Amino acid sequence: MVNLPLWSCPSLELSTIDIIKNYYYPTENHTVRTKDGYMLDVFRIPYSHQCLDRKVKKVVFLMHGLYSSSDAFLLTGSSSGLPYMLADQCYDVWMGNARGNRYSQRHNNLDTSESEFWHFSWHEIGLEDLSASFEYIMFQTKQKDLNYICHGQGCTALMVLLSLRQEFNFNIHNAVFLAPMVYMSHSSLPWRHLQKVFDAVPDGEAKPTLMPNDTKQNDVAKRFCPSMTCDCNYNLIYGKSKHKHDPIITTRFLATHPSSVSVRQLKHFLQVKKSQKFQQYDYGTEKNIIMYNQSTPPEYPLEKIQPQGSLHIFYSDSDWYVSAKDITTLKEMFPKATFHHITDTQWGHGDFLHGRNSRNLVNVPILEILRRNSEEGVDKHLKQSENSEERVGNHTKKSTNSDDGVGQHIKKLNHRRRSKIRRRSKHRRSGKSKY
């Protein structure tokens, strides 16, 4: 194996902002504040230099998976990375970050050293982080909806939000799920061993499973990549993959991953696997009665998930996180969704983002999905809001959201939609989603 001079790799020691600017795309860093006090970094590629003549662009929001961050979408470079490809097709690209990861470790009153900071699972990421991010983006862009693309846990979080806060279904145009972690009965990860570890961790002491140090990660990446050590670390995070990954990409991956997660995030997935139900967090009988008014956690009402446009789900046969058998359950829940089977028998969980052929097997089909499902109503809205769109130069812009302004804007957008939801719910088939 050839040892590359990776210390000279321009993408190795950079943040999301630096990586984007390294490829000469304009970028912005926005701070989204959640109602429960977390401050989340959301990154934006407002346009590509190939699309300077188009002032208003449709919004695409990308959400990362477990142990990850917005960095995950950028590691394959400008020719194959989904955010760059979207920007080149004239989309307004936003990338979210879940609370607790390397870009979202600020809070109004809490510090990361306090266990209370980490008292959340992917339930709160969906209900609080995504809702705040969507409201902020729609307020900033003056658009009424967005396209959502997610990987792993990022899809889990949207399922939570759309099932419990039905009004947000009207804010999702197209939803594209890459290996969604929903039903996990047949997952191949060593959950049995993890269960023993996390059963011993009281919820009151639910500090993060790890707090990676960026400097140390970069040092490790320089020292050991490309090598078997680097591939092993990749497999520890995304599960075993039979594919041979590009050594440059695995080096960048190790320099930016894993990102910190809470104990509850992992425990919640373990509970879903054990119960064979997509349900809310199990606090134990006594606290469940306090939280849910019942001894067991309620299931998420997936039949309420009804995005405005289309729902597309990508999956494979060699994904250690998401088994094709569990995807069958999703097919029953969403009979009108379009399922995309990656037939490559070696395609793993991380390959949806970093596989050598991810551009052709995943990204190009996504672009076609978005193009094909563009509707006249969205185009009309874009034209109406064109005069209010502000073009941003090739620089980093820092901004924060105003809760009052965002709330008023979204309230106006969703006023009519809530009445539609009530009418639609009367005709919904029990146990199955429209999709």
Collapsed DSSP state (helix, strand, coil) of residue 124? helix
Angle at which helices 263-275 and 191-199 pack, to 10 degrees?
Answer: 120
The pLDDT of 343-368, averaged and rounded, is 93
The pLDDT of 239-261, averaged and rounded, is 71
Rounded Cα–Cα distance for residues 189 and 187 (Å): 6
Does the pLDDT at position 400 exceed 80?
A: no
pTM: 0.81
Asked if 308 and 434 count as a contact pair (C-beta separation under 8 A), the reply is no
Which residue type does 236 have? L
Q: Provide the number of structural domains found in the chain.
A: 1
Collapsed DSSP state (helix, strand, coil) of residue 350? coil
The two tokens of residue 266 are: 């992992």
User: Is the alpha carbon torsion for 376, 371, 43, 170 positive or negative?
Assistant: positive
- pLDDT value, residue 408: 54
Asked if 315 and 323 count as a contact pair (C-beta separation under 8 A), the reply is no
Does the pLDDT at position 395 exceed 50?
A: no
Pairing between β-strand 106-107 and β-strand 38-45 as defined by DSSP bridges? antiparallel
Q: What proportion of the chain, given as a percentage, has pLDDT over 70? A: 69
Name the band, by pLDDT with cuts 50, 70 and 90, for residue 419.
low
Cα separations (Å) of 211 from 262, 271, 409, 429? 10, 23, 37, 45
Which residue type does 58 have? K
Range of the domain at 405: 15-188+302-425
CATH classification at residue 347: 3.40.50.1820
Does the pLDDT at position 220 exceed 50?
A: no
> pLDDT tens, 309-350?
899 999 999 898 999 999 999 999 999 999 999 999 989 998
The two tokens of residue 149 are: 């693309």
- pLDDT value, residue 181: 96
- pLDDT value, residue 70: 95
- pLDDT value, residue 9: 44
Collapsed DSSP state (helix, strand, coil) of residue 237? helix
Rounded Cα–Cα distance for residues 343 and 346 (Å): 9
In a domain, 236, yes or no: no
Asked if 79 and 357 count as a contact pair (C-beta separation under 8 A), the reply is no
In a domain, 213, yes or no: no
- pLDDT value, residue 116: 93
Q: Is 2 exposed, middle or buried (0-12, 13-18, 19+ CB in 10 A)?
A: exposed
Please list the alpha-helical segments (H only) found in 225-375. 228-238, 247-256, 263-275, 285-292, 324-333, 351-354, 358, 364-372
In a domain, 129, yes or no: yes
Asked if 93 and 137 count as a contact pair (C-beta separation under 8 A), the reply is no
In a domain, 124, yes or no: yes
In a domain, 288, yes or no: no
Point out which residues pair with 312 in neighbouring strands.
176, 338
- pLDDT value, residue 329: 95
Please list the alpha-helical segments (H only) found in 142-292. 153-164, 191-199, 214-224, 228-238, 247-256, 263-275, 285-292
The two tokens of residue 394 are: 């090739």
Q: Is 222 exposed, middle or buried (0-12, 13-18, 19+ CB in 10 A)?
A: middle
The two tokens of residue 235 are: 């497999």
In a domain, 264, yes or no: no
Label residues 35-68 b or e (16+ Cβ within 10 Å = b): eeebbbbbbbbbbbeebeeeebbbbbbbbbbbbb
**Of 103, 121, 132, nearest to 14 (Cα)?**
103
In a domain, 7, yes or no: no
Residue for token pair 């009309």: 380
**Average pLDDT of the residues of the chain:** 80
Asked if 2 and 225 count as a contact pair (C-beta separation under 8 A), the reply is no
In a domain, 257, yes or no: no
Most confident of 160-174, 317-331, 377-391: 160-174
The two tokens of residue 268 are: 């919640």
Does the pLDDT at position 434 exceed 80?
A: no
> pLDDT tens, 24-72?
999 999 999 999 999 999 999 998 988 876 667 899 999 999 988 999 9
> pLDDT tens, 197-217?
666 666 655 556 555 545 444
Most confident of 132-136, 183-187, 218-222, 426-430: 132-136
